[in-house]
Amino acid sequence: MCGNPGIEQAMKKCVYLILALFCMLLAAGCKKNSAIDLKPNLNVANDQVIASRMFTYVFRLLEKAVTDSSLSAVHHAMIDSAMVSLDSKGRVYTFSFAGSRSADHVARAGVFVATIDSGFFHAGSTIRVAFQGYAEDGHKVTGSDSIRCKGPQDGQYLYDDIIPGAVISKDSVHSIHVSAVYRCAVTAVFISPGVKQTLITFGGNAGGASSAGHPFTAIITKTLETRENCPWISSGTITLSIPGAGIPTGTIEFMGKTSCNDEISYDFDGNTYHLWMQEKYLGN
CA distance 222 to 219: 9
Task: Name the more confident of 29 and 202.
Answer: 202
pLDDT at residue 2 is higher than 50: no
Could you tell me which residue, 192 or 243, shows the higher pLDDT?
243
CA 167, CA 142: separation in Å to the nearest integer?
A: 5
Mean pLDDT of 67-89: 94
Q: In this predicted structure, what is the pLDDT of residue 18?
A: 47
Please determine, for residue 121, whether its predicted confidence score (pLDDT) is greater than 90.
yes
Give the closest residue to 45 by CA, choosing from 262, 191, 212, 198: 212
3-state DSSP call for residue 71? helix
**Cα dihedral value 162, 165, 171, 174, nearest 10:** 150
Q: Which residue did the predictor score with more confidence, 32 or 199?
A: 199
Q: What is the CA radius of gyration of the chain?
A: 25
Residue 230 has pLDDT above 50, yes or no: yes
Q: What is the pLDDT of residues 142-156, one digit of tens each?
A: 999 999 999 999 999
Q: Is 187 left (phi over 0), alpha (psi -120 to 50) or beta?
A: beta
Digit-coded pLDDT (tens) for 163-222: 999 999 999 999 999 999 999 999 987 555 666 789 999 999 999 999 999 999 999 999
% residues pLDDT > 90 (the chain): 79
Answer whether 141's CB lies under 8 Å from 12's CB. no
Q: Confidence band (pLDDT; 50, 70, 90) for 35?
A: confident
Examine the pLDDT at 49 and tell me if it is beyond 50. yes
User: Which has the minimum average pLDDT: 16-20, 248-252, 264-268?
Assistant: 16-20
pLDDT above 70: residue 66: yes
Average pLDDT for 234-244:
96
Q: What is the mean pLDDT of residues 44-64?
A: 97
Name the pTM for this structure. 0.85
Average pLDDT, the chain: 89
pLDDT at residue number 15: 44
Supply angle C-alpha 156, 50, 210, rounded to 5.
Answer: 120
Q: How confident is the model at residue 5 (pLDDT cuts 50, 70, 90)?
A: low
The mean pLDDT value for 254-278 works out to 93
41/38 Cα distance (integer angstroms): 5
Q: Is the pLDDT of residue 30 over 70?
A: no
Q: What's the confidence (pLDDT) of residue 21? A: 45
Q: What is the structure's pLDDT at 6? A: 55
pLDDT at 63 over 80: yes
Tell me the helix, strand and coil percentages in the chain, rounded to 5. Answer: 25, 50, 25
Question: How much is the pLDDT for 90?
Answer: 85
pLDDT at res. 244: 86
pLDDT reported for residue 24: 44
